[in-house]
Structure 1
Amino acid sequence: MSSVKAGIISESTKLFKRTKYKVLLICIELLVIFIGIISNFTEGHINVSLSSFELNILSIFTNILIPLIVFMAVADLFAAEQENGTIKAVITRPISRYEILVSKMISILIYVICVLMITFIISSVIGVLFGRTQVINIPGIFAAYIISILPSIPIIFLSILISQLSKSSTSSVMLSVLIYIIIMALGLIFPSISSVAFTSYTNLYKFFIGSQMSVKSILTVIGLLSGYSLIFFSGAYALFEKREY
């Protein structure tokens, strides 16, 4: 357990110290502020109404921005290190490949959580300042952001799996984006398979907030996401374990 903790610290430091990820956090802050100000002056007529600003922003992020961030981070921590050979220094440490994979995955998840929390704080402040959000509703909004962490897990594992099949960080990102779009498109074109496509649940918070779904249905969805995560993780680990460096 201590080796995993050390691995998480190492991989998180590696990720957060990179300039592009620092700049990305700043850009996210500015983007949320910009959309909030524009929405206020246009009275919400830019498809991001301030009456539910925090949740509208959350939908945009979980459907588009979070997957892109995941694909970039996975490419940097896996494909790029495999491409430039720095992964050799990692696997020579007294830590198993299983622990390395888990450490990198958790580090990426930590960054995703940071993005969501920063977005929650800024969007909530904007909502309160512009008088569109009541303070009493903030705990429910916070819960929506916490719940939205879960759908990112199978996306992370899928991207890690793809990175093990890619020869470069660029191909890892492009292939991840392509496969993600294909899965989403199939869910839209064939509604019958939409219910079993994990990409259909990026807005998982809607199942809990203002929803009349039964507890059984919600647990089924969570079980589905967990199943996808397990399958993708197993495939990624099998390839990572056997790969020669």
Structure 2
Amino acid sequence: MNTIRIGIINESTKIFKRSKYKVLLICIGILSIALGLISNYTGGLINVSLSNLPLNILSILTNVLIPLIIFMVVADLFAAEQENGTIKAVITRPISRNEILISKMIAILIYVASILIITFIIGLVMEIFFGRTQIISIPEIFMAYVVSILPIIPTILLSILISQLSKNSSSSVMFSVLIYIIIMLSGIIVPKVSSMIFISYTNWYKLFIGAQMPIKSILTIIGLLLGYSLIFFSGAYALFEKKEY
């Protein structure tokens, strides 16, 4: 357990020390502020209601920005390290490949969580500043941000799996985006299979908003997402374990 903790710290440091990921955090923060200001001074002209700003931002993040960011981070932590040989220094440490994989995955989750925390705070502050929120809605908004992390996990693991089949970081990002789009389109073209695709539940946090939560549906989705996560993790680990560096 201690080796995983150290691994998480090391991998998180790699991410947060890179200039592009610092800039990304700043840009997402600026985007959140811009959406709030535009919505407030245009009366919702761009269909982003200030009274629901944190949830509107969350929808943009989970459907578009976070998947793209995940593909970039995974490519840097896996494919790029394999490409430049720095992964050799990692696997020679007294830590198993399983622990390395878990450490990198959790480090990516931490970065994603930092994005969610920043946007949650900005969105909430802007709502309060412009007098568009109610105290009773804050716990629901917070819950929405917390549960939105679960559908992100299979996306991370799928990207890690793809990175093990890629020769370099650019191909890892390209194939991750391509496969993600194919999966997403398959749910749109064939509506019958959309309920079985993990990407269909990026907005599942909406189930937690309202007077009554559909417990049965929530448990079903959790089982589906965990099943996908297990499959992708098993495939990624099998390839990572067998790979020669």
TM-score range, shorter chain: over 0.9
Superposition TM-score, scaled by structure 2 size: 0.98
User: Counterpart amino acid of 1:74?
Assistant: V
Secondary structure in structure 2 of the residue aligned to 1:210: coil
For residues 241 and 23 of structure 1, the distance between their equivalents in structure 2, rounded to whole angstroms, comes to 33
Mapped pair 1:235 → 2:235: yes
1:210 deviates by 2.6
Mapped pair 1:155 → 2:161: no
User: Counterpart amino acid of 2:135?
Assistant: V
Q: Give runs of aligned pairs for residues 183-198 of structure 1, distance below 5 A.
A: 183-198=183-198
Structure 1's unaligned 5+ residue stretches are none
Deviations 1:110-156 (A, max 9, x none): 00000001000001001111111123311210110001011100000
1:69 aligned residue: 69
1:221 aligned residue: 221
User: Counterpart amino acid of 2:109?
Assistant: L
For residues 31 and 214 of structure 2, the distance between their equivalents in structure 1, rounded to whole angstroms, comes to 36
User: Counterpart amino acid of 1:58?
Assistant: L
1:7/1:103 contact within 8 Å kept: yes
Q: Give runs of aligned pairs for residues 139-150 of structure 1, distance below 5 A.
A: 139-150=139-150
1:211 deviates by 7.5
User: Counterpart amino acid of 1:81?
Assistant: E
1:119 aligned residue: 119
User: Counterpart amino acid of 2:118?
Assistant: I
Bigger mean CA offset, 181-190 vs 232-241: 181-190
Secondary structure in structure 1 of the residue aligned to 2:58: helix
Deviations 1:85-133 (A, max 9, x none): 0000000000000000000000000000000010000010011111111
Structure 2's unaligned 5+ residue stretches are none
Secondary structure in structure 2 of the residue aligned to 1:54: helix
2:200 aligned residue: 200
Q: How many residues align?
A: 245
1:74–1:211: structure 2 CA closer, same or farther, 3 Å change rule? farther
1:97/1:240 contact within 8 Å kept: yes
1:128/1:135 contact within 8 Å kept: no
1:109 aligned residue: 109
Aligned-residue sequence identity (percent) comes to 73
User: Counterpart amino acid of 1:180?
Assistant: Y
For residues 219 and 137 of structure 2, the distance between their equivalents in structure 1, rounded to whole angstroms, comes to 25
Provide the alpha-carbon RMSD of the alignment: 1.0
Secondary structure in structure 2 of the residue aligned to 1:207: helix
For residues 214 and 23 of structure 2, the distance between their equivalents in structure 1, rounded to whole angstroms, comes to 42
2:32/2:123 contact within 8 Å kept: yes
1:209 deviates by 1.1
For residues 51 and 26 of structure 1, the distance between their equivalents in structure 2, rounded to whole angstroms, comes to 23
For residues 179 and 9 of structure 1, the distance between their equivalents in structure 2, rounded to whole angstroms, comes to 30
2:143/2:208 contact within 8 Å kept: no
Mapped pair 1:131 → 2:106: no
